[in-house]
Amino acid sequence: MTNIEQSKKDAKSFLNENYIAVLATSQNDEPSASTVYYIMFDSYNFYFYTKHNSNKTKNILQNPKVGLVVGFGPEHITVQVVGEALRIEDEEEKEKIFEKLMEMEQKNGVKMWPTDDTERFRGQKNEIFKIVPTEVSFLNLDSLKYPDSISDEFVQIIP
């Protein structure tokens, strides 16, 4: 496997093992960042939910261009995403994604707000967004879990 192919494999594994990201949005050229719980599918599409009146929602509806970062210490490994956030309108699709988010929370034993209140949000005015990436970059400086993709440079996964 080439370094790029190994990096793609390790980036997917890393993203599927994690569920917390920092989402960057902007409104009127003012940046904003917040933590979200996410799920990701094979195509590097990320999904998260938020209240319909949150700043995230307001910002995305004004400017759908977003950034997303997943990365944890103490090892220096991160995935950085640039893309467009799309509001999921279809109620069946929203329910399906909501269920997947609930499964992720239960699987990971997440016991903190807002995930411990997720069921309470069902049926209320909440938004589920899909982030369709235009760029995905992976950096693994020293992760012992993924030794075959260690590099001192970002690897472009997409494009």
Give the integer Cα–Cα distance in Å for 8 and 13: 9
Counting as low any pLDDT under 70, the low residues of the chain are 1-2, 108-124
Q: Taking CA 117 as the corner, what is the angle to CA 112 and CA 47, rounded to the nearest 5 degrees?
A: 85
Check residue 106 and give its pLDDT.
74
Question: For residues 118 and 106, is the Cβ–Cβ distance under 8 A?
Answer: no
Domain count, the chain: 1
Give the integer Cα–Cα distance in Å for 24 and 9: 25
Residue written as token pair 């950034």: 67
Check residue 115 and give its pLDDT.
46
Check residue 119 and give its pLDDT.
53
Check residue 122 and give its pLDDT.
53
Residues in the chain, how many? 159
Check residue 149 and give its pLDDT.
94
Check residue 113 and give its pLDDT.
46
Domain with residue 61: its CATH number is 2.30.110.10
Give the domain extent around 130.
3-158
Check residue 116 and give its pLDDT.
47
pTM over the 0.75 mark:
yes
